[in-house]
Structure 1
């Protein structure tokens, strides 16, 4: 009977995946600008870029190419940040990012960036945050997409700067900012150096997510969790190297924000075949699938989910469960999340029906989906 039910599921296609409701919880604003917008803003602002054509600029920022290292990958941000130093540019970029996400049926988006990187022309941090939030609100009015902001401290910058950024995040709590992150070069820049900033965040009951286990080992993840109280981990591909820590994150339901194509591009993993996403999922860890940087990695959430299916063996049932886990991992109040989950599970069933089948019902996957469809 279970086998027969399984045959009723539609084939996984790009159209089906695009129609399913999704989250993007790990998305950097300065890595997700439209290529044409970078060129347009540069022309308006008189900024000289390393190339003047879309093709040349794509090559200059390693768009979709495998890089030598995470540090090499991060050099692309020098290009995008050069044109993101005005309120108008920040508003436009946030607005367009949310539109692009909504176009592939991302229902909830968390945009992260570090305001300190946008102050070269004298912008106040508050003006930077206001501009991004205004752009996201405009996109919400137009498309209905829900979105919030995560403010990033930078690992390789003075820890006191992170404290100032933490103060900014606290000031905007309840006004569109839902979390604090530590991003930037991981190796040689331990999270514990920024503990004062993170403690301020925790003292004010703000969410914490930290980039860890991407370019450095599981001890970086342990530091993020045990020293900095991280509620989510960005990437975490090297968590599999420490079984005790892996079980700790699983037991405490600490979600992993996975970004498969980015991890291959930065050399964090050697290829999709060696990516730990499927192992983590099968083991029971709470994982979400995200873009990281839509421009530099040349990706969308739809593309990332198709990678999971085609390269890692995720079934349609698996993908639906991952989508629900994304919504459950969102930095949202419990009641809001509960209502969102109710709507999302109904929409998943409707999308599957439109594509020729009811919601997944077969075998262990069905039981797991039922558990994931419950309370946050």
Structure 2
């Protein structure tokens, strides 16, 4: 006899929930139409000159087999992100898109040194992005801050320069420092001076680790560079001792399930360690990584956790709360968010049948995602 099919929560209900996005790259989250338009305006050579052609050329949402292949899409987006106007617009549109799915708080990360090809000063880059995010906050109500990035596969001296920028803009919209880029063969310890500087200035640290390299990368991020959060962390499960250290010290994991599938960090979504981490009590957050390159939203990532990983609706609500707990925000601001969001989430029943009765939807949960 066929097993009874459990009813699942539709995507559009998850879109109603208040959310965070703590791991989202500016240069991986531009609108495709905006890239085309800016390419024409600035006479930039793009691999295609129509939406579908560009989507295929950039392999958006596709499994590309490795992190190195995944990062090639950024070669395209960065070509049009070299003016203050473009940076303001892309930052604004990212926040606007997030607000449309009820993301309340977002931390946008990028590396200013990648946006200076047309002569912008590093300070111009930082201020243009902050202007775009502040304009979106005024228009849409979404609060956004910035995490500046060093790049693993660029020089440690460049990372130190980005760290100096983070120090200069602390309290002015920059809330953290990150190390991104190709992980394999580019250890975080080479960039130790940058992390020493930001920690000396009491700036939050998050580091991409355990995505394209093993748990040793996570240990180095935490013990050598002082990471307060870990980006991705897929391979943490390979070292139980390290896993329990992360759990005991409440170090949040910024999970990005669909991105991890694209880069071959996980075999398939069903084998993603997020559920294991959640069941063990780790502080797990769910994020987009790159809204354009991964072709996703926070709501879609949570929906996939529900439908592909078997997380309950109550689990999703707990993960959302973890996102607000893990934000690089002052304690009292975080408390205010948590009180408000907890009250809002409590209005959504945990029981799926009751939930669907209270919030009737036009689409079923198993409908194909556009």
Sort the TM-score into its range (normalised by shorter chain).
Answer: over 0.9
Distance in 2 between residues matched to 1:94 and 1:253, nearest whole Å: 30
CA distance in 1, matches of 2:56, 2:137: 32
Taking only aligned residues, the RMSD between alpha carbons, in angstroms, comes to 1.4
| Alignment partner of 2:57 out of 45, 57, 60 | 60
| 2: CA distance, partners of 1:171 / 1:356 | 52
- CA positional deviation for 1:349: 2.0
Question: Which among 70, 73, 76 is matched to residue 76 of structure 1?
Answer: 73
Q: What pairs up with 1:1-376 in 2 under 5 angstroms? A: 12-352=9-349, 357=354
Q: Kindly state the Cα deviation for residue 310 of structure 1 after the two structures are TM-superposed.
A: 0.4
TM normalised by structure 2 equals 0.92
Provide the secondary structure at the position in 1 that maps to 2:47: coil
Q: Is the 8 A contact 1:255 1:286 kept in 2?
A: yes
**How far, CA to CA, are the matches of 2:127 and 2:354 in structure 1?**
44
Which sections of structure 2, spanning at least 5 residues, go unmatched?
1-6, 356-370
Stretches of structure 1 that go unaligned for 5 or more consecutive residues are 1-9, 359-376
Asked whether the 8 Å contact 1:234–1:257 carries over to 2, the reply is: yes
C-alpha separation in 1, matches of 2:172 and 2:135: 15
- Tell me: CA distance 1:120–1:131, structure 2 relative to 1, closer, same or farther (3 Å): same
Q: Residue 293 of structure 1 aligns to a residue in which SS? A: coil
Whether contact under 8 Å (2:29, 2:291) holds in the other structure is: yes
Taking structure 1 as the reference length, the TM-score comes to 0.91
Separation in structure 1 between the aligned mates of residue 13 and residue 341 of structure 2, nearest angstrom = 15
Alpha-carbon distance in 1 for matches of 2:115, 2:241: 40
1: CA distance, partners of 2:344 / 2:38: 38
Cα shift at 1:357:
4.8
Contact 2:8 2:307 in 1 (8 A): no
Aligned 8 A contact 2:83 2:118 in 1: yes
Offset from partner CA, 1:214-267 (integer Å, 9 cap, x none) = 000000000000000000000000000000000000000000000000000011
Secondary structure at 1:20 match in 2: coil
